[in-house]
């Protein structure tokens, strides 16, 4: 073990080469926890095992089920659209291969661009590399449509990381959630790539009069020899017309016309298990809830925010049910939890500790407000089919204000009790 | 929050009961109507009682913050319904349950037996131990001079009357200086038999408070008093609002005061009596309801003091936490605090007529062959106390506990207020993927490790930081570990931004280093909270 460290230490670039040294340091501390000991200044002599690396990695681990399912679902939706291998477990190898070909470039671009910026700023400031982007980088592919053009993704990440985070001072200083800011940028700068009915199923070409699948590229054919060798079906040429029944619309888009319209296309079970079109990682509710339970059990996500958020959403849907102004409002309140990305947003986005409220009372208010606002935007504003991104970013901005009032409340309460004592 | 709920509860009941009433009037079925009427009457009665109860509570709050609000209510609070059964020895006394906190369970607790073979031969008084005095005090001795225990060694240049005295008799062998010629240690080589300076008789009951203060300053006992806010040497001009003594220490491997006080009960009680003469308020004794067995009789049957019971994990034994729950420090107020052994030394001034600086010190830590107690005097040499007892060389010697103690070399001395030495392994090793898969189990408050499944397990800790320093990211972590109505993270940020109003409002006066030490231990971002807090305290102190 010591020899190994000595060998690696030989590669350490000199401190003057800042970028290289930061890079080296980043990878070295990733491999080995450093040999730092607690300092001599007044302070503790022993430290907890927990550090930021582990905190972040726990979130990334909690996302893994979403990755697995999301990847498979990209392929599944694609084949569903053209009416081939329509059963969920048909042609598993094709669906996995198709999903990987879609998700890997997104994943790689998200990490190379984001981490590149992170490394650059760390080197510039002479700081060690901070771990915040590990989670951001894992979240971004999951909240994108599978067909997102990579250059748009890259531009958005540059915007979000530079303006949203580094401009404020790096991990721990940002005001709004970086992954959501990335999506927000895509949403407003390139709306056609991330809204409407046409973007949620991968590999469908709408340019002609009729929607057809795009032709398969070299990446797909690279699998041919393997699948042939195993006696499995291969991708073929593509360019097939999609089935008549195909809409590509998400449940939320259909819900504006009432619950009957939604169930005409998707059964509640499909929505629950997640075999529907949507952003990559947000469709499968049970897997998200499993990840959420893991974060809650380990104490990484704040249960106050999650419970607050669920209560807020339940409250708002009940209010709308009571109002019953249009067909959308008549959708029974519990079905709102089958559609859209509520669970993903509340589990992984709202619970980001940096951008959420920092006080325990504030967390209740913050979570509840997100729940209320998200449903409100979803149902009342037809221009935005889903409300969680906007609701969370909105509350991110308001979180410091909530905290301000909670802190002032604490100060007043404290002043009162000492005044009584005096 | 809780009061708000109880306040609105009766209103809510009234609101809910109104439809019942309406139905009652129009009800056709007689039995149903009667049942509803009965329910309404019951609810109305309940509302009346609840309102009365709330008024009672409000009145109780006005009477004094020290009173337990649950004790004045006729309803049990939700928390007290689910609370663990109180130990029998508490009797009818109220117990403050502190939920927040964590007990770090380490290996190497001292066995409660005093090892008479271990003797330290050199001792030191260290001016840096006394916060608030000038770094270069005025020396009354020089190297080579013979002193008796209780003889003046030095005094502060600002308040010259406060004398700091020799803990043992012997020869002054060295006066060590640190940065900018600040005096760090006045070292005395002890005689075989300690000779004491005989103090003139003084009856504290008869003399005036001023005489008592002057007497204490001259005999050296004044240095035993610590003043909050800031944890500094007590100001002779000030009259403390209250004096607080915590009789139990919940820090990792801390000495057991029930054992320490054995045989010194008389001096302890005398010390409490003297303290009663010094304050305009009360002397509060914090007692532990944690153990299976009752605390020592010296504590539970102490006279002339207010006893308050506390139950909960560390830091429930910290006197600062107890002050917060008994009688918080008001604006422009000062309070004094003492440890159990300080009270004993203070009492011994009057019962024995000498400054008896004897200390029972716990020598603890997993890196010792035999953790144990020794009887020595204030400021004993650390190396001599752990001689032939270390299981290896690569260790850190700490005066105090692992959370808020200070690092010492073998040639250094125990700090004035410390009654514990802890030895932990130095952790200057690399660990492959240590952040993901730790190769050994060390204490942690995080539930991402399986430690929480084994609440009785003990751990070997070392000084590795297990990660690098980062900006504040995780929130709500400190609040879980500090049983006070304080927002530690916001306070720290106020200190870092020099926000004086914020610091004052968020309660910096109520805290000293040991109170945030547990938060610092657990901090995911590895922030130096104790250092930051001291910076803030110094800033506030300079501002006056």
Question: pLDDT tens digits, residue range B207-225?
Answer: 899 999 999 999 999 999 9
Residue A269, CA atoms < 13 Å, CB-side half-sphere: 0
Domain ranges of chain B: 2-82, 465-544
Question: pLDDT tens digits, residue range A296-334?
Answer: 999 999 999 999 999 999 999 999 988 888 888 888 888
Nearest-angstrom CA–CA distance, B329 and B314: 21
**Which residues of chain B does A132 touch, with a Cβ-Cβ cutoff of 8 Å?**
473
**Which residues of chain A does B429 touch, with a Cβ-Cβ cutoff of 8 Å?**
35
Residue in A2, A6, A33 to test binding to B, most B beta-carbons within 10 Å = A33
The answer, yes or no, to whether residue B247 has pLDDT greater than 80, is yes
Interface contact A38-B330, CB threshold 8 A: no
Nearest-angstrom CA–CA distance, B515 and B403: 10
pLDDT confidence of residue A210:
73
pLDDT confidence of residue A162:
94
Q: Which of A206-210, A250-254, B410-414 has the lowest mean pLDDT?
A: A206-210
Interface contact B506-A414, CB threshold 8 A: yes
The answer, yes or no, to whether residue B48 has pLDDT greater than 80, is yes
The answer, yes or no, to whether residue A107 has pLDDT greater than 70, is yes
The answer, yes or no, to whether residue B1 has pLDDT greater than 60, is no
Which position has the token pair 């959630």? A177
Domain ranges of chain A: 2-31, 53-284, 301-422
The model's confidence at residue B532, banded by pLDDT at 50, 70 and 90, is: very high
In whole numbers, what is the pLDDT of chain A averaged over residues?
Answer: 89
- A134: which residues sit within 8 A by CB, 6+ positions away? A56, A57, A60
Interface contact A354-B473, CB threshold 8 A: yes
Closest chain A C-alpha to B146 CA, distance in angstroms = 34
Residue with the larger pLDDT of the pair B242 and A244: B242
In whole numbers, what is the pLDDT of chain B averaged over residues?
Answer: 87
For the residues B180-194, what does the mean pLDDT come to?
92
The model's confidence at residue B24, banded by pLDDT at 50, 70 and 90, is: very low
State the complex-level ipTM. 0.89
Nearest-angstrom CA–CA distance, B102 and B312: 9
**Which residues of chain B does A357 touch, with a Cβ-Cβ cutoff of 8 Å?**
475
The answer, yes or no, to whether residue B21 has pLDDT greater than 50, is no
pLDDT confidence of residue B348:
93
The answer, yes or no, to whether residue B66 has pLDDT greater than 60, is no
For the residues B161-166, what does the mean pLDDT come to?
93
pLDDT confidence of residue A32:
83
Pick the residue from chain A with its C-alpha nearest to B447: A298
The answer, yes or no, to whether residue B18 has pLDDT greater than 60, is no
Task: Report CA-CA distances (Å) from B125 to B170, B174, B184, B405.
Answer: 13, 11, 8, 17
The answer, yes or no, to whether residue B454 has pLDDT greater than 90, is no
pLDDT confidence of residue A243:
83
Q: What angle do CA A116, A122, A124 make, to 5 degrees?
A: 105
Pick the residue from chain A with its C-alpha nearest to B445: A48
Sheet of B232-233: strand order equals: B95-97, B306-311, B283-288, B243-246, B335-338, B226-228, B232-233
């Amino acid at each position: 073990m010591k020899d190994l460290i000595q060998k690696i230490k030989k590669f350490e670039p000199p401190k003057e080469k800042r970028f290289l040294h930061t890079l080296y340091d980043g990878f070295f501390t990733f491999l080995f926890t450093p040999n730092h000991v607690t300092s001599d200044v007044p302070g503790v002599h022993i430290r907890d095992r927990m550090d930021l690396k582990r905190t972040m990695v726990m979130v990334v681990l909690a996302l893994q089920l979403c990755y697995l399912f999301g990847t498979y679902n990209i392929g599944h939706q694609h084949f569903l659209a053209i009416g081939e291998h329509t059963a969920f477990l048909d042609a598993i190898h094709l669906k996995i291969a198709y999903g990987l070909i879609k998700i890997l470039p997104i994943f790689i671009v998200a990490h190379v661009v984001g981490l590149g910026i992170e490394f650059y700023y760390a080197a510039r400031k002479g700081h060690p590399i901070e771990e915040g982007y590990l989670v951001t980088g894992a979240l971004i592919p999951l909240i994108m449509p599978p067909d997102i053009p990579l250059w748009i993704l890259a531009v958005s990440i540059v915007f979000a990381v530079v303006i949203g985070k580094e401009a404020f001072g790096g991990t721990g200083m940002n005001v709004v959630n970086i992954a959501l800011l990335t999506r927000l940028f895509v949403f407003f700068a390139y709306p056609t790539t991330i809204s409407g009915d046409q973007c949620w199923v991968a590999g469908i070409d709408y340019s002609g009069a009729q929607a057809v699948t795009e032709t398969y590229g070299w990446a797909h054919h690279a699998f041919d020899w393997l699948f042939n060798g195993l006696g499995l079906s291969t991708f073929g040429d593509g360019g097939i017309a999609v089935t008549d029944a195909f809409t590509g619309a998400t449940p939320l888009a259909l819900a504006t016309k009432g619950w009957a319209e939604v169930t005409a296309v998707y059964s509640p079970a499909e929505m629950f298990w997640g075999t529907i079109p949507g952003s990559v990682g947000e469709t499968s509710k049970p897997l998200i809830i499993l990840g959420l339970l893991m974060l809650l059990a380990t104490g990484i996500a704040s249960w106050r925010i999650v419970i607050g958020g669920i209560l807020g959403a339940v409250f708002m849907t009940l209010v709308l049910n009571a109002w019953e102004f249009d067909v959308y409002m008549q959708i029974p309140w519990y079905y709102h939890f089958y559609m859209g990305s509520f669970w993903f947003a509340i589990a992984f986005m709202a619970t980001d500790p940096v951008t959420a409220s920092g006080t325990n009372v504030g967390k209740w208010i913050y979570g509840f407000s997100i729940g209320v606002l998200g449903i409100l935007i979803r149902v009342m504003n037809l221009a935005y089919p889903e409300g969680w991104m906007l609701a969370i970013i909105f509350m991110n901005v308001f979180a410091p204000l909530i905290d301000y009032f909670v802190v002032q409340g604490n100060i007043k309460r404290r002043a009162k009790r000492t005044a009584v004592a005096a | 929050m809780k009061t708000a709920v109880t306040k609105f509860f009766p209103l809510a009941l009234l609101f809910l009961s109104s439809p019942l009433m309406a139905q009652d009037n129009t009800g056709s079925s007689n039995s149903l109507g009667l049942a509803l009427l009965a329910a309404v009457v019951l609810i109305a009665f309940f509302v009346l009682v609840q309102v009365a109860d709330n008024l009672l509570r409000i009145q109780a709050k006005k009477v004094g913050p020290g009173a337990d609000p649950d004790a004045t209510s006729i309803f049990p609070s939700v928390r007290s319904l689910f609370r663990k059964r109180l130990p029998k020895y508490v009797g009818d006394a109220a117990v403050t349950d502190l939920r927040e906190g964590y007990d770090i369970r380490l290996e190497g607790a001292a066995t409660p037996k005093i090892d008479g073979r271990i003797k330290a031969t050199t001792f030191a008084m260290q001016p840096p131990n006394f916060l608030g005095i000038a770094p270069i005090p005025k020396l009354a001795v020089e190297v080579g001079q013979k002193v008796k225990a209780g003889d003046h060694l030095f005094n502060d240049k600002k308040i010259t009357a406060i004398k700091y005295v020799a803990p043992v008799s012997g020869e002054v062998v060295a006066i060590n200086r640190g940065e900018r010629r600040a005096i760090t240690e006045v070292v005395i080589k002890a005689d075989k038999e300690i000779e004491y300076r005989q103090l003139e008789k003084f009856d504290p009951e008869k003399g005036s408070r001023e005489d008592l203060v002057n007497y204490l300053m001259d005999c050296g006992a004044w240095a035993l008093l610590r003043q909050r806010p800031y944890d500094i040497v007590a100001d002779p001009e000030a009259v403390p609002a209250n004096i607080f003594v915590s009789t139990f220490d919940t820090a990792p491997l801390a000495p057991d005061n029930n054992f320490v006080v054995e045989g010194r009960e008389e001096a302890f009680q005398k010390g409490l009596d003297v303290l009663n003469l010094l304050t305009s308020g009360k002397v509060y004794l914090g007692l532990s309801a944690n153990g299976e067995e009752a605390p020592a009789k010296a504590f539970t049957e102490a006279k002339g003091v207010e006893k308050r019971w506390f139950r909960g994990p560390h830091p429930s034994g910290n006197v600062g936490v107890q002050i917060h729950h008994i009688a918080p420090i008001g604006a422009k107020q000062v309070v004094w605090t003492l440890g159990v052994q300080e009270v004993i030394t203070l009492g011994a001034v009057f019962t024995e007529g000498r400054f008896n600086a004897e200390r029972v010190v716990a020598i603890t830590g997993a890196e010792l062959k035999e953790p144990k107690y020794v009887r020595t005097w204030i400021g004993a040499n650390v190396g001599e106390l752990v001689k032939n007892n270390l299981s290896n060389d690569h260790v850190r010697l700490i005066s105090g506990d692992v959370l808020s103690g200070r690092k010492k070399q073998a040639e250094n001395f125990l700090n004035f207020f410390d009654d514990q030495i802890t030895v932990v392994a130095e952790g200057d090793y690399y660990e492959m993927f240590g952040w993901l898969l730790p190769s050994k189990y060390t204490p942690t408050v995080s539930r991402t490790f399986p430690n929480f499944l084994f609440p009785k397990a003990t751990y070997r800790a070392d000084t590795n930081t297990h990660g690098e320093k980062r900006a504040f990211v995780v929130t709500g972590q400190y609040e879980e570990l500090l049983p006070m109505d304080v927002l530690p993270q916001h306070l720290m940020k106020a200190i870092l931004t020099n926000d004086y109003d914020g610091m004052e409002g968020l309660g910096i006066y109520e805290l000293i280093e040991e109170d945030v030490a547990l938060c610092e231990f657990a901090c995911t971002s590895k922030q130096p909270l104790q250092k930051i807090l001291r910076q803030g305290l110094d800033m506030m102190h300079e501002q006056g």
